[in-house]
Amino acid sequence: MKKGRLWRRAAAFAVIGAALLVWYVRGQAEAPRVLDYAEFWRMAEDGEIEAVSLGEGENWRVKTTEGETALTPNPRAEDGKERLLRLGIRVTEERNAAPGLLLLLLAGAAAFALLRGSGAGGAAGLAKYAAVQTDRTIPEITFRDVIASPETLEGMRDLVGFLRSPGAYARLGARPPRGVMLYGPPGTGKTMLARALAGEAKAPFFAVSGADFVQVYVGVGASRVRELFRKARKAGGGVIFIDEIDAIGKKRDSGNDEREQTLNALLTEMSGFSGLDRIMVVAATNRLDTIDAALLREGRFDRHIEVGLPDAAQRLEILRVHTRNKPVARGVSLPDLAAQTALFSGAQLEALLNEAAIRAARRGADEIGPGDIEKAFCAAAAGDERPTPMTAEEKAVTAWHEAGHAVVTHALLPEDRIAYLTVIPSSRGAAGYTLSIQPDRLLHTRRELIARIAQALGGRAAEEMLLGRDGVTTGAAGDLQRARQIASAMAEEWDMGEGDPREAGRAILEEGFAAARACLAQRKNALARLAEALEEKETLREGEILEALEGEN
Ligand code: ADP
């Protein structure tokens, strides 16, 4: 034992000694000229520089066309690389500007490890500090494993080709998407989708979290970004996934240096892609509106794909996927559970099933019974800080409200297309959401504008029909604001009312609301049919909407 320690100590000193010697000899052999920075750029512009090796150290290493090696101060600015590349100068990136120093550090780490008598501890610790840990395997999962809306999946499928065969696009001069921003509530499958993209393209997957880049020491984040891209390039490309990009990509706050440097490093790396790089950066955020606009610009994260909460049918599919390997008793109805779990994310559904399985195991059962599910559901609804599941009443009122907008739109604005109707809140709207696409027009008639007010107030009018004047909810705040805007513009700008503009605005608003009420009163059956379909399915597309609206009567 004692002998072993002695041996290790001797070995450690030998390693350090050797490294010092190498460093000293290198220092003697090369004493390169130092170009001042302005001189360096003059030479670069004049074509006198052949290659530059960028590092994180004090100097850049420069090779002139005459074959001389020189140094120039590292400005630590982010646009240097692009400028050099534009001048046709070969740019390489050094891991560390002083290889001798690196050697010394490594030797130190090795010696430390030897002294501690553990082969790995010291070196592993050092590596952890220097770089973000990423696994770089090709995921097995594909888009079939992720349950998402057709729009989301289409947006993702669209990207596979660029990763698989960038050449086919480059040949036609098509600019490949560089960055993709997935946005939506937590636990909706954004990470899964990014992994599945790599899986489909048979490309390695590199995952990091925005938080990994935010460090106490300025500059560490930026160097981690560069390191990450270097790794991806070395692997011949892949999907780089940055979860919680908010940590570095939030709208400018109080001039945080570290965050800014990291962000700049990221943008520089992304603008350095060529059309033939098989690299795609996928970032995820819960809220698109908090992300710095600079990040979302053309040529950066310019593809935005929403990953929303699942609707009833999608929840059922998710429940099926996650019960594949769980024995579920016959008395358990997954469709019923799907219907009761409005506003649950995929991750919450998965957690609910897991909780139910734990409860079943605890009572020594062979199968998950209805009681286990019910208890897990109550625990999920009570113990979660996220919004509680939507109650059946809330869902019914929201469905009725959205159906009101749709019925008025269909009757009074027949040229509008109603593409989408949902009771699931999305980052685009409040409790429910109606997407109607209006035709482009330069001029609007008074009749059309009244119809627009009626369209906006159709939700409130439908609520009133269902619940009476005292039963209407606060869900119509946005609608009311829109209706008021149109009414006051009609009265004040376009002189479409009578008498005092304020009074006239109010009268116009009344006129619009009356039109909505009259319209719904005549179409009670269509309204009820649509509301019922919406309550059940939670999301309806154009065909289903028209079917409900145009049924008998
Ligand atoms: P996010 O990245 O949006 O926070 P994740 O992809 O990390 O969500 O989801 C966490 C887990 O929840 C997944 O591993 C999976 O088990 C489950 N899950 C979430 N969304 C889905 C979905 N759309 N389809 C199937 N499972 C899902």
Residues 163 and 267 in one domain: yes
Q: Is residue 114 part of a domain?
A: no
Residues 162 and 244 in one domain: yes
Final residue of a domain: which of 382, 412, 429? 382
Instruction: Tell me the CATH number at 65.
Output: 3.30.720.210
State residue 103's pLDDT score.
Answer: 53
Give the integer Cα–Cα distance in Å for 140 and 202.
9
**Which of 149, 188, 341, 427 for mutating ligand 1's site (highest number of atoms within 8 Å of CB)?**
188
* Residue 259 Cβ contacting ligand 1 at under 6 Å: no
Residues 294 and 180 in one domain: yes
What does each C-alpha distance from 425 to 22, 293, 343, 433, 505 come to in angstroms? Answer: 65, 24, 8, 7, 31
| pTM higher than 0.75 | no
Q: Is 299 helix (H, G, I), strand (E, B) or coil?
A: coil
Q: What is the pLDDT of residues 9-39, one digit of tens each?
A: 556 556 555 655 555 555 444 467 888 888 8
197 neighbors 160 (Cβ within 8 angstroms): yes
State residue 2's pLDDT score.
Answer: 45
Alpha carbon 130 to chain centroid distance? 26
Segment 363-372 shows an average pLDDT of 94
pLDDT bucket at 487, cuts 50 / 70 / 90: very high
Give the integer Cα–Cα distance in Å for 331 and 372.
11
34 neighbors 71 (Cβ within 8 angstroms): yes
Is 402 among the residues known to form the active site? yes
The residue ranges of DSSP E strands in 404-451, in sequence order, are 417-422, 433-437
Tokens 């955020």, residue located: 285
Q: Which residue has the higher pLDDT, 22 or 510?
A: 510
> Residue whose CA is closest, atom 26 of ligand 1?
346
For residue 128, pLDDT over 50 is answered with no
Work out the percent of the chain whose per-residue pLDDT is above 70. Answer: 81
In the sheet that holds 539-541, the strands lie side by side as 433-437, 417-422, 539-541
* Residue 141 Cβ contacting ligand 1 at under 6 Å: no
Q: Which atom of ligand 1 is nearest to the CA of 347?
A: 12
Instruction: Tell me the CATH number at 463.
Output: 1.20.58.760
Residues 368 and 461 in one domain: no
298: which DSSP letter? Answer: T
Give the integer Cα–Cα distance in Å for 216 and 226.
18
Q: Is residue 112 part of a domain?
A: no
What is the rounded end-to-end Cα distance, in angstroms, of the chain?
94
Work out the percent of the chain whose per-residue pLDDT is above 90. Answer: 39
Instruction: Tell me the CATH number at 235.
Output: 3.40.50.300
Residues 372 and 404 in one domain: no
* Residue 189 Cβ contacting ligand 1 at under 6 Å: yes
* Residue 284 Cβ contacting ligand 1 at under 6 Å: yes
Tokens 């929840």, residue located: 315
Residues 61 and 169 in one domain: no
Final residue of a domain: which of 382, 401, 426? 382
Q: Is residue 107 part of a domain?
A: no
Give the integer Cα–Cα distance in Å for 133 and 130.
9
For residue 323, is it left (φ>0), alpha (ψ between -120 and 50) or beta? alpha
Q: What is the pLDDT of residues 61-97, one digit of tens each?
A: 888 887 788 888 888 776 778 778 877 788 887 754 4
Q: How far is the CA of 366 from the centre of ligand 1 (A)?
A: 27
State residue 511's pLDDT score.
Answer: 95
State residue 97's pLDDT score.
Answer: 43
* Residue 308 Cβ contacting ligand 1 at under 6 Å: no
* Residue 413 Cβ contacting ligand 1 at under 6 Å: no
Mean pLDDT of the chain: 82
Q: Is 33 helix (H, G, I), strand (E, B) or coil?
A: strand
Sign, CA torsion 327/331/336/340: negative
Q: How far is the CA of 347 from the centre of ligand 1 (A)?
A: 5
**What b-and-e string marks burial along 172-203, b requiring 16 or more CB atoms within 10 Å of the CB?**
eeeebbbbbbbbbbebbbbbbbbbbbbbbbeb
Residues 211 and 333 in one domain: no
The encoded tokens of residue 252 equal: 């400018």
Q: Which of 402, 463, 535, 538 is catalytic?
A: 402
Segment 490-515 shows an average pLDDT of 89
Tokens 């990221």, residue located: 266
For residue 440, pLDDT over 80 is answered with no
Give the integer Cα–Cα distance in Å for 5 and 394.
72
The encoded tokens of residue 154 equal: 């289409």
Specify which residues 304 forms β-bridges with.
Answer: 181
State residue 144's pLDDT score.
Answer: 92
For residue 195, pLDDT over 50 is answered with yes
State residue 499's pLDDT score.
Answer: 81
> Residue whose CA is closest, atom 25 of ligand 1?
146
Final residue of a domain: which of 364, 382, 400? 382
For residue 474, pLDDT over 90 is answered with no
Residues 421 and 365 in one domain: no
**Which of 350, 352, 354, 427 for mutating ligand 1's site (highest number of atoms within 8 Å of CB)?**
350
State residue 127's pLDDT score.
Answer: 39
Q: Is residue 387 part of a domain?
A: no
The C-alpha torsion from 153 through 158 and 161 to 167, rounded to 10°, is: -160
Residues 418 and 369 in one domain: no
The encoded tokens of residue 260 equal: 């800014």
Tokens 């409860």, residue located: 359
Give the integer Cα–Cα distance in Å for 190 and 306.
9
* Residue 320 Cβ contacting ligand 1 at under 6 Å: no
H/E stretch holding 478 reads: helix 477-492
Q: Is residue 48 part of a domain?
A: yes
Residues 64 and 157 in one domain: no
Residues 499 and 532 in one domain: yes
Give the integer Cα–Cα distance in Å for 109 and 102.
10
Q: Which residue has the higher pLDDT, 464 or 54?
A: 464
Q: What domain range includes position 38?
A: 3-100
Q: Is 324 helix (H, G, I), strand (E, B) or coil?
A: coil
Q: Is residue 82 part of a domain?
A: yes
Q: Is residue 129 part of a domain?
A: no
Segment 470-474 shows an average pLDDT of 80
Give the integer Cα–Cα distance in Å for 117 and 187.
43
Q: How far is the CA of 189 from the centre of ligand 1 (A)?
A: 3
Lowest mean pLDDT among 103-107, 215-219, 225-229, 251-255: 103-107
Residues 518 and 411 in one domain: yes
**Ranked by mean pLDDT, which of 10-24, 332-346, 491-505 comes out on top?**
332-346
Q: Is residue 118 part of a domain?
A: no
What's the structural domain count of the chain?
Answer: 4
Instruction: Tell me the CATH number at 340.
Output: 1.10.8.60
Q: How far is the CA of 311 from the centre of ligand 1 (A)?
A: 15
Segment 310-335 shows an average pLDDT of 94
Give the integer Cα–Cα distance in Å for 222 and 302.
22
The residue ranges of DSSP E strands in 259-302, in sequence order, are 279-285
The encoded tokens of residue 512 equal: 């619009």
* Residue 190 Cβ contacting ligand 1 at under 6 Å: yes
The alpha helices in 341-419, defined as continuous H runs, are: 346-362, 370-383, 392-412
For residue 238, pLDDT over 80 is answered with yes
The β-bridge relationship of strands 205-209 and 303-306 is unpaired
44: which DSSP letter? Answer: H
